[in-house]
Amino acid sequence: MKRNSFWGASFTASVIIAIVLLVWGSPSVAANDQPSAAIAVVKIDNFVFGPQTLTVPVGTTVTWTNKDDIPHTTVSTDGVFKSKVMDTDEQFSYTFTKAGTYSYYCSVHPKMTGKVVVQ
Amino acid sequence: MTDKKQDLIDQKLQDLNNDGVDRRGFLKCMAWAGTGLVWTMSGGIPKSRAFAKTADHSAVKGADFTFVQISDSHIGFNKPANPDVTATLQTAINKINAMPQKPDFIIHTGDLSQLSKPSEFDTLDQVLRGASAKQVYFVPGEHDMLTDNGEQYLQRYGKGTKGAGWYSFDHKGVHFVGLVNVANLKAGGMGSLGHEQLEWFEDDLKGRPASTPIVLFAHIPLWTIYPEWGWGTDDSEQALSYVKRFGSVTVLNGHIHQIMQKVEGKVSFHTAMSTAFPQPAPGTAPSAGPMKVPADQLQRVLGITDVNYLVSGRSLAVVDSPLGDSGASSAGGGGSTSGS
């Protein structure tokens, strides 16, 4: 029950993020060729984090979405953030409040690695 | 028919050679899923051959004991590759129950569940309770340690084990060691045993005569099959150095959802099919995700492995059989490993 409500909340949050992206986020990315000010996304597809390196301004919330049929995680190498297991289409978000380079990997498939550069 | 099979096997060997898997002189590899495979060893000379219904069953008949390996049940998985993994596990159990010689026990080489959910473990337990062999030995897969660093797995399946769930036991003169290579995985790496487990393993083997047959089992292969997909164990070389002095070593793994075999000196490596869904042959798909096959072909690429141990004749036979066994010998290997 607890899990369900967690994922329910997470799902609701992700829908809101998706709507925000649709209405406002994506076009601005396309138009300026710059990361959007507050929101960025990483898609997990075919056991790859895409983009593998994401550069964003301080304060950006990054949302990872698992598009695979296999569960994945997003875990900071330095212990800064750690997602729960994401099954297909589940998401994890983290807001980067400090500049720096954040390496992360999938703790289930550690060959999968990625980086968020916060400027 | 036999020639045709041999051609298929040769072709697979060739493919693997081209893929650079067979990189150490005397390595022999075989990738094949679809029908069965018998592996025998006698007098230290290992031989692989296709298993057909007409094949010589003498090794099986005279076996001192038999056990079955099943793997990668992924209970909870419900995607198109196989929407009913509980049913295919049940089919595997039915197959075990129909074996002419009742196996002494079952080894499950991990990924019992898809998401480490209690309900998934419950379902697995329920299906396994119907097996003729009541004793089941487990090692965890990465899917069994997703939520709580494997605490739940240890509570359910790891009683009396060490660390993340490793242990050993003896059965009719054979020493079995269950190793865990899915805990504390490092970014960028493959499977890992870790220092503590390696020390325990070295110690566990100490004082055992070199004539003791050794069977190692772990989820991720203990030999490097395809590092690009993480199909290997970073510190397996060290583990294998501890078994070098033994005359007969068999390594049973899962994780890659297809049969692969390699013989290196006195060590034979073997990976089992999944009871849930097939995965592509190394490098033949963009990723190691589930391979979707037509429903009528699914059972050819899922299966069980039974191992017949013939202590007196120094022989060991590994027989892989797919779940859909009717006419297996004429199924022509199904070509399933290349069907991605």
Give the model confidence (pLDDT) of B161-193 as tens digits.
999 999 999 988 889 999 999 998 999 999 999
How is residue B97 written in tokens?
């129950």
- Give the minimum alpha-carbon distance from B4 to chain A in angstroms, rounded to a whole number: 35
pLDDT at B54: 30
Neighbours of B78 (CB within 10 A): 15
Q: Which of A48, A87, A111 sits opposite B230 (nearest CB)?
A: A111
Q: Give B 73-112 residues with CB within 8 A of chain A.
A: 77, 79, 81
DSSP symbols for B104-129: SEEEE-S--BSS--HHHHHHHHHHHT
- Please name the residues between 24 and 53 in chain A that touch chain B, using a CB distance below 8 Å: 46-48
Picking from A70, A82, A101, A102 by the largest number of B CB atoms within 10 A of its own CB, the best residue to mutate is: A70
Distance from the Cα of B286 to chain A's closest Cα (Å) equals: 6
Q: Do A71 and B79 touch (CB under 8 A)?
A: no
Of B114, B187, B289, nearest to A113 by CB-CB distance is: B187
Out of A88, A105, A111, name the one closest to residue B190 (CB): A111
The 3-state DSSP class for residue A97 equals coil
pLDDT reported for residue B308? 74
Look at residue A63 and tell me whether its pLDDT is greater than 90.
yes
- Among B182, B185, B291, the strongest candidate for a mutation testing the A interface, having the largest count of A CBs within 10 A, is B185
Q: Scanning every residue of chain A, which has its alpha carbon at the shortest distance from the alpha carbon of B117?
A: A3
Q: Which two tokens stand for residue A97?
A: 């409040």
Minimum distance, in Å, between the CA of residue A114 and any CA atom of chain B: 10
Across the interface, of A46, A85, A105, the residue whose CB is closest to B147 is A85
The structure tokens listed for B295 are: 């429903």
Contacts of A103 in chain B (CB under 8 A): 187
B244 vs B94: CA distance, rounded Å: 37
Q: Is the pLDDT of residue A56 over 60?
A: yes
Cβ-contact B258, B33 below 8 angstroms = yes
Phi-psi region of B332 (alpha: psi -120 to 50; beta: other; left: phi over 0): left
At how many degrees (to 10) do helices B85-97 and B118-128 cross? 20
B282-331 per-position pLDDT tens digit: 989 999 999 888 888 888 888 888 877 765 444 466 777 777 754 333 22
**B56 vs B39: CA distance, rounded Å:** 12
Average pLDDT over residues B221-226: 95
Q: A5-14, A108-117, B176-185: which range is least confident on average?
A: A5-14
> Does the CB of B292 have a partner CB in chain A at under 8 Å?
no
Lowest mean pLDDT among A3-7, B213-217, B228-232, B301-305: A3-7
- Using CA atoms, how far residue B11 sits from B138, B173, B259, in Å, is 34, 38, 15
Q: Tell me, what's the ipTM?
A: 0.76
Question: Does an H or E element contain B86, and which?
Answer: helix B85-97
What's the pTM value of the predicted model, to 2 decimals?
0.78
**Nearest residue in B to A83, CA atom:** B147
User: What percent of chain B has pLDDT above 70?
Assistant: 74
In this predicted structure, the answer to whether residue A13 has a pLDDT above a threshold of 90 is no
Cβ contact, residue pair B187, A77, below 8 Å: yes
Q: Residue B123's pLDDT is what?
A: 98
**Cβ separation A47–B115 shorter than 8 A:** no
Which one has a higher pLDDT value, A46 or B14?
A46
The minimal CB distance from B288 to the residues A47, A88, A110 is found for A47
Are B230 and A109 a contacting pair at CB < 8 A? yes
- Look at residue B151 and tell me whether its pLDDT is greater than 70: yes
Nearest to A110 among B81, B185, B286 (CB): B185
